[in-house]
Structure 1
Amino acid sequence: MQLPAHILAQAVATDATRPALTYYDDTPGGAGERIEISRAVLRTWVAKAANALQEGMDVAPGSVVLVDLPAPHWRLAYWALAVWSVGATLTVDTHEGADVLVTTDPDSELADDCDEVVAVALAGLARTFGSELRSGVMDEAAELASYADDFTAWDECAADDTALVTGGERVSYADLLSDLPELPTGARSLVTGTDPGHFVRQVLQVLASDGSAVLVRGAAPADGDSRMVAERVDHRAGVPAGQVGPDR
């Protein structure tokens, strides 16, 4: 079994400078930003977030982290990989009990049931969350940079440990890449689905297949879209039924 951290490390070792994720915000009234993240930069984001979880919040195998961020989004991708690097359980089901909440809404009812809360500003150039946070809430934009660029897990998960809770289902670490539609090796994949559980597995699959992903948050681009042609997209990732279209 290849753990997610090993998959990311192999992708970096193969070609650190190759894009891992290219993100477009096409939501109505959104920032309209394009952000490209190389494999090496993604590893750095993952390492910092994993160190924050492990050192700052005592997250370990057996811990549950609820990541309540939109899909598809590059910040959801690195937080998911960070949770898996620590060996904890990632849940995207908001009804699931969790030790840590990573969210854009740190004052929601979800935060009342979590010991630790991380407030995330989605904008790529954000340097603070943008509003006052209550005591004990981590401002990701202001604080994450202080954590180390390299990460070593203190404990390793087992193959049958739960890696992901999504749609009421529990997926083990051994099965994270099971039952996914086949992905061509080295593909430049367009990812548009809004199911966060499926999305984080797609990102891991792209890395495992020596590929890269173009994430479009908003309406799915039509075939022949000029930007997707310029991005050299050669594969459209499958999405669960009902998950194509405007972002949630």
Structure 2
Amino acid sequence: MLTQNPSRNYSFEKFFTTLKARQSPALIWYSDHSERIELSGRVLENWVSKTANLLSEECELDSSEPIHISTTTHWRSIIIALAALRIGAHLHFVPEEEDCADIFCTDNIDELPKSSAEYRLLVEKSPLAPRFMGVLPDDTMDYCALVRSYGDVYHGLSTPSLTDTAWENTSYQQLLNSIVLTQQEPLSEQAYDISAPPMFNANYLQQVLCCLSQAKAVILRDPTVHWVTEEIHRIHHDEKAVCSPWL
């Protein structure tokens, strides 16, 4: 029988500890021109730790504090969002909520003038870019260039409080509960293709969390690319993947 809080023995710390121990693929990105980027659980957790250190040390992000993420759905978007959750921040995805956050993350340089946030992070979308591939606007931080210099282990004191809001009307307690409930229906395949929306959002992030919590790989197909059926079938065959059960 389920309790009111099925996640009482589960936490985000346990989630990231388990993720770090994985040598198998956790996140696989596909884009045009046969672009494929694979991150094992260990590598994904490493980037999350670096990003959490950047957000907490450079941008002074603390638990319960807001961060606005306005990006297309991209493997770097997932890393930034996971890092914010690790800190225990309040994630915002809706444009009109922009002004409530001191940190604004975007991959669209045209969005920067609309933000009054104290810290503005510009995220490069090209594959494995070491920096923003253009002219960086004033008062803007280059996420790709900065994140590499931060520590591989997150030692921040800020962690999620179960009563705090993760996003919208969802608390960290409710989010963990949903992950644990999903685990009670184990996934059988080794990888799952979660249909990515054009703009990164909370629903997509929650599906990613549920998939990763079961030690399965997330297939992320670049939503800016028009994918024909034959290409999707090839990816599924190569990765031994199926479409997400939560679609």
TM-score of the aligned structures, taking structure 1 as reference length? 0.82
Deviation readout 1:79-110 (Å, 9 max, x if unpaired): 11100111111111111121201111244256
- Which of 123, 126, 144 pairs up with 2:129? 126
Q: Offset of 1:7 from its aligned partner?
A: 0.7
Where 2:31 maps in the other structure, the secondary structure is: strand
Partner of 1:161: 164
SS in 2 for 1:118: strand
**Which residue of structure 2 aligns with residue 148 of structure 1?**
151
Alignment length (residue pairs): 228
CA distance in 2, matches of 1:107, 1:38: 33
Q: For 1:132 and 1:3, how far apart are their aligned partners in 2?
A: 41
Match of 1:76 in 2: 77
Q: Find the counterpart in structure 2 of residue 100 from structure 1.
A: 103
Cα distance 1:237–1:34, how it changes in 2: closer, same or farther (>3 A)? farther
Report the counterpart of residue 232 of structure 1 in structure 2.
Answer: 240
Query: Pairwise mapping of residues 13-92 of structure 1 onto structure 2 (< 5 A)?
Result: 13=21, 16-26=22-32, 32-71=34-73, 73-92=74-93
Partner of 2:3: none
Root mean square deviation, CA, Å: 2.4
Counting aligned pairs with the same residue, the percent is: 26
Question: Counterpart of 1:48 in 2: which secondary structure?
Answer: helix
Alpha-carbon distance between aligned partners in 1 of 2:117 and 2:229, rounded to the nearest angstrom: 40
Partner-residue secondary structure (3-state), 2:115: helix
The verdict on how the C-alpha distance between 1:134 and 1:105 changes in structure 2, with shifts beyond 3 A counting, is: same
Please give the alpha-carbon distance, in whole angstroms, between the structure 1 residues aligned to 2:101 and 2:188: 35
Q: Which 5+ residue runs of structure 1 have no aligned equivalent?
A: 240-248
Q: Cα deviations across residues 138-187 of structure 1 (Å, max 9, x unaligned)?
A: 1112111011111022123321200123xxxx211111255589563364
In 2, are the aligned partners of 1:106 and 1:118 still within 8 Å (CA)? no
What is the one-letter code of the residue matched to 2:174?
A: D
Structure 2: segments with no counterpart, 5+ residues: 1-6
Q: Contact 2:20–2:43 at 8 Å: present in 1 too?
A: no
Question: Distance between the aligned counterparts of 2:228 and 2:15, measured in 1?
Answer: 29
Deviates more, 1:149-158 or 1:216-225: 216-225
Query: Scaled by the length of structure 2, what TM-score is found?
Result: 0.83
User: Quick one: structure 1 residues 101 and 3, their matched pair in 2 at CA, closer, same or farther if it must change by over 3 Å?
Assistant: farther
Find the residue that maps to 1:113 and give its secondary structure: coil
Q: SS at 1:90's partner residue?
A: strand
Q: Is the 8 A contact 1:206 1:212 kept in 2?
A: yes
Kindly provide the CA deviation profile for residues 41-74 of structure 1, in whole angstroms up to 9, marking residues without a partner as x. 1011101110000000110012111111212x21
Amino acid of the residue matched to residue 233 of structure 2?
D
Q: Distance in 1 between matches of 2:91 and 2:14?
A: 17
In structure 1, the residue matched to 2:212 is: 207
Aligned to 1:242: none
In 1, Cα distance between the equivalents of 2:152 and 2:178? 33
Aligned letter for 1:9?
T
Preserved contact between residue 72 and residue 107 of structure 2 (Cα < 8 Å)? no
